[in-house]
Amino acid sequence: MPNDSSPSRQFPPLPQFSGMNAPSRIECHIQDLEVVGELPQALQGSWYRCGPDPQYPPMLGDDIYINGDGAVSAFRFADGRVDFTMRYVRTQRFEAERAAHRSLFGLYRNPYTDHASVRGLDRGTANTTAFVHAGRLFALKEDSLPYELDPVTLETKGRHDFDGKLRSRTVTAHPKRDPETDEWLFFGYEAAGDASKDVAFCVADKHGALVREEWFEAPYAAMQHDFAVTRDYVIFSVFPTVCDLDRMKAGGTHWMWDGALDTWIGVMRRDGSAKDMRWFRRPACYSYHVANAFNTGSQITVDLCVSARNVFPYVPARDGSAHDPEANAPYLTRWCFDADNPESSFNSRVLSPIPGELPRIDERVSMQPHRFIYYGGIDPRKSQLVTGPIGLGSNHLVRVDTQTGGVTSLFLSDTTTFQEPQLVPVPGAEGLLLAVVDHHDTGLASVVVLNAADITAGPIAQIKLPIRLRDSFHGDWAPSTPQTI
Ligand code: V55
Ligand code: FE
């Protein structure tokens, strides 16, 4: 139990708070970062990123990586120069803890473990994804509503409930922007509250107005971290990482892995309704991230990272089995199935021999056939460096050509890991690929700027930061506009 009079002022000596994972707690603006080489002229815009960075030592003496307070950062590129800004999101939780000079919230997604003084406050950390829509910047966390930030200063404007219209209590941190219509497609799971099976499928139009919210029930309450959208279909996935209210009330974890349950894939037509959802059942498996999906008629293809079970070591298994990082490693996988025939064969094929996660594409072809996927590879034959949510950082950047099957990769050194890559579109080319590099020897960060078509050639330019950047989750690229730069 927390000590009310003298809370700990020290982060516990655990891997998720040590080394590259040590909380940085830095808010800053750095003009004109040092650049080795020359930044391409095509780099004109803002790269927003979001990740967890705990403000205070955990009230209960321990905590998991994904429960840290959301910090949003922006690299602003213009005319061969780059500036950097980083700020915490002023969530209700952040403000309450700052006012009390200590942490007051308990276990990840378990309000029953909080200090009595914060009952009823928003527990959201806004720590997962920075997302730009209709010129507005949002910080997203799947258990709560988005927070809106000023795209220039990164100051928090407040919680975003779509002008009071959204009924779902949650909004996914994996929004899909339709490149043809500029709509924001999203969903919320546990939409009616903790452990509810309710899922809300929602659409905001190109101006950001909520124009659709349809509720349906998932087969069981599960962590639905991502989803997939094609031109004609929406695909929901329910993998057996399950929530139980009694366990939470007893002070237990929100999540548990239950490999005895099936995976359920729900498919609905975008011009149809959730009432017509078709469910495909598969044996238990897990996926955090979808790279992209597309359809040709009723034939659906989804490229996603699939593992035998949840890759987070801190999601306990119902059968008590230990987490085995190698057996549970995620692989980029292609699923093909016929939306009109739930009984048809469901084809699954691994696209790359290098395990890894955080897949991205050129989002101009989102929801349509894509050719290239870029992701962070964790090659077991190279040094395993501790950082980030899985416990191991990506020792490679990997590019997969899904047309030829070719896999190429970039390895920098035994002391470097990569954070999630970002593809910056360049007209007439494959684009530029950006990634933050964690330098485990110096404890500093850099950013590599790569020609996406030839990542093995190494950086065209490298941006040096005078600080460490704790591993973040997801980012978004916004080309220069008056609103964003
Ligand atoms: C993930 C991250 C989260 C979370 C649940 O990447 C899943 C997976 C950053 O927070 O709350
Ligand atoms: Fe994610």
* CATH number of the domain enclosing 34: 2.120.10.30
Instruction: Specify if 335 maps to a domain.
Output: yes
4 lies in some domain: no
Q: pLDDT tens, 304-351?
A: 999 999 999 999 999 999 999 999 999 999 999 999 997 777 899 999
For residue 289, give the ligand 1 atom closest to its CA: 6
Q: Residue whose CA is closest, atom 10 of ligand 1?
A: 66
Q: Is residue 48 part of a domain?
A: yes
Q: Which atom of ligand 1 is nearest to the CA of 108?
A: 11
d(CA 476, CA 423): 9
- Does pTM surpass 0.95? yes
- Asked whether residue 404 is domain-assigned, the answer is yes
Residue 403 has pLDDT above 90, yes or no: yes
Are residues 111 and 123 in contact, defined by beta-carbon separation less than 8 angstroms? yes
Contact 148, 134 (CB under 8 A): no
Distance 193 CA to ligand 1 centre (A): 17
Query: Is the per-residue pLDDT at 483 higher than 70?
Result: no
Domain count, the chain: 1
SS3 label, residue 361: coil
Q: Is pLDDT at 265 greater than 90 in this prediction?
A: yes
Question: pLDDT, tens digit, for every residue of 180-198?
Answer: 999 999 999 999 999 999 9
User: What residue owns the CA closest to ligand 1's atom 3?
Assistant: 66
Question: Which residues have CB under 8 Å from 344's CB, separation 6+?
Answer: 337, 338
Phi, psi of 437 (to 5 degrees): -110, 130
pLDDT above 90: percentage of residues in the chain: 96
Q: Is residue 95 in a domain? A: yes
* 387 token code pair: 């950082």
Structural domain contains residue 7: no
Ligand 1 mean position, distance from CA 480 (Å): 29
Measured CA to CA, the distance from residue 195 to residue 190 in angstroms comes to 6
**Whether the predicted pLDDT of 291 surpasses 70:** yes
Closest ligand relative to 312 C-alpha: 1
Alpha carbon of 397 to ligand 1 centroid (Å)? 21
pLDDT in tens, 79-97: 999 999 999 999 999 999 9
**Is the pLDDT score of 35 beyond 80?**
yes
Best residue among 107, 123, 128 to mutate for probing ligand 1, ranked by most atoms within 8 Å of CB: 128
Sheet holding 147-149, edge to edge: 28-30, 81-88, 70-78, 45-52, 474-479, 129-133, 136-140, 147-149, 156-159
Is the pLDDT confidence value at 64 over 70? yes
The pLDDT tens digits for 434-455 are 999 999 999 999 999 999 999 9
**Burial status of residue 112 (CB atoms within 10 A of its CB: 0-12, 13-18, 19 or more):** middle
* Single-letter code of the amino acid located at 193: G
pLDDT the model gives residue 38: 98
Tokens for 401, please give them.
């050509």
In the reported structure, the alpha carbon of residue 356 is separated from the centroid of ligand 1 by a whole-number distance in angstroms of: 16
Residue 3 Cα to ligand 2 midpoint, Å, equals 34
Does residue 385 fall inside a structural domain? yes
**Is residue 1 pLDDT above 70, yes or no?**
no
CA separation for the pair 430, 424 (Å, rounded): 9
Q: Could you tell me which residues are beta bridge partners of residue 432? A: 424, 451
Taking alpha carbons only, the member of 395, 472, 461, 422 closest to residue 24 is 472
Residue range 377-382: mean pLDDT, rounded: 97
pLDDT score for 482: 53
Q: How much distance in Å is there from the Cα of 2 to the middle of ligand 2?
A: 31
Nearest CA residue ID for atom 11, ligand 1: 66
The whole-chain average pLDDT of the chain stands at 97
d(CA 379, CA 84): 30
Q: Which domain holds residue 222?
A: 15-479
Q: Quick one: pLDDT at residue 50?
A: 99
> By alpha-carbon position, which residue is closest to atom 6 of ligand 1?
288
Distance 140 CA to ligand 2 centre (A): 10
- Identify whether 5 is part of a domain: no
Pocket around ligand 1: residues whose beta carbon is below 6 Å from it? 52, 66, 127-128, 142, 225, 288, 389, 473
Tell me the three-class secondary structure of 23-47, residue by residue. Answer: CCCCCEEECCCEEEECCCCCCCEEE
In angstroms, what is the span from residue 80 Cα to ligand 1's centroid? 34
Q: Which atom of ligand 1 is nearest to 127's Cα? A: 9
